[in-house]
């Protein structure tokens, strides 16, 4: 049930006494964890806290990449699981902070740092996960690139080298044809 479809309900809510509205609002907020975190961030935190959140997530990405690099040959399955987990944390970071530039910077950092395994033989058991990883990686890159294009040109300029580094990584892994199908450029 959408509130916009029920104008009489909206008017009735607006006519409630302030104390009753506050009580209802607090009950509604308590039911949504992300909304609660977003309000906490918006009302009680500042730019320093945003930077701390950003750095903590960046450190977690570095730690995960370090763990993956300690394997002699990391499996595509492990990389895919780590990439999805970290991508989810970046999504959560954005939902709480609503900072597009921070999200794009973190996602760029993740995509540039995460190792990509060499493609396995067609009949290899790990080929299925390698293909899933590559597909997920390229779609995440496409999504990040669309958000990058929405940033102010000064922010785009600051991230320009990191984007080209990612596009170069895609080209070196011989994924250019798949990237072109998704509409990703070779260089910006």
Q: Which of 23-32, 117-126, 130-139 has the lowest mean pLDDT?
A: 117-126
Q: What are 129-183's pLDDT values in tens digits?
A: 888 999 999 999 999 999 999 999 999 999 999 999 999 999 888 888 888 888 8
Pair of tokens at residue 18 = 């302030």
Q: What's the rounded mean pLDDT across residues 47-57? A: 93
DSSP code at position 71: S
Question: Which residue, among 124, 145, 134, 135, has the nearest Cα to 173 in the 3D structure?
Answer: 134
Cβ pair 151, 104 in contact under 8 A: yes
In the predicted model, is pLDDT for residue 78 greater than 70?
A: yes
The whole-number pLDDT of residue 7 equals: 80
Q: What's the rounded mean pLDDT across residues 72-81? A: 86
**147: Cβ–Cβ under 8 A, 6 or more apart, which residues?**
100, 103, 104, 107
Length of the chain: 188
Number of neighbouring beta carbons within 10 Å of residue 93 = 21
- Cα 148 from Cα 160, distance rounded (Å): 9
The whole-number pLDDT of residue 3 equals: 67
Pair of tokens at residue 5 = 């479809």
- Helix, strand, or coil (residue 9): helix
- Cα 85 from Cα 5, distance rounded (Å): 37
Question: What is the rounded average pLDDT for all residues in the chain?
Answer: 88
Cβ pair 116, 169 in contact under 8 A: yes
* pLDDT confidence band for 120 (50 / 70 / 90): low
The whole-number pLDDT of residue 19 equals: 92
Q: Is 113 exposed, middle or buried (0-12, 13-18, 19+ CB in 10 A)?
A: middle
The whole-number pLDDT of residue 167 equals: 92
Q: Which of 33-37, 72-76, 86-90 has the lowest mean pLDDT?
A: 72-76
Question: pTM of the full predicted structure?
Answer: 0.85
Residue reference for tokens 């396995």: 120
In the predicted model, is pLDDT for residue 73 greater than 70?
A: yes
């Amino acid at each position: 049930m959408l509130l916009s479809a029920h104008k009489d309900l909206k008017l009735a809510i607006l006519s409630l006494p302030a104390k009753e509205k506050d009580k209802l609002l607090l009950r509604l907020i308590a039911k949504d964890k992300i909304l609660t975190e977003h309000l906490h961030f918006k009302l009680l935190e500042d730019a320093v806290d945003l930077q701390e959140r950003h750095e903590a997530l960046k450190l977690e990405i570095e730690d995960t990449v370090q763990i993956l690099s300690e394997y002699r040959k990391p499996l595509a399955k492990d990389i895919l699981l780590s990439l999805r987990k970290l991508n989810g944390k970046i999504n959560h970071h954005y939902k709480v902070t609503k900072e597009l530039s921070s999200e794009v910077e973190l996602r760029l950092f993740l995509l540039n740092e995460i190792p990509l395994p060499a493609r396995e033989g067609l009949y290899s058991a790990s080929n299925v996960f390698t293909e899933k990883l590559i597909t997920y990686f390229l779609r995440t890159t496409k999504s990040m690139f669309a958000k990058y294009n929405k940033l102010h040109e000064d922010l785009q300029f600051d991230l320009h080298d990191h984007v080209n580094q990612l596009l170069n990584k895609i080209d070196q892994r011989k994924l250019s044809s798949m990237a072109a199908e998704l509409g990703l450029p070779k260089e910006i």
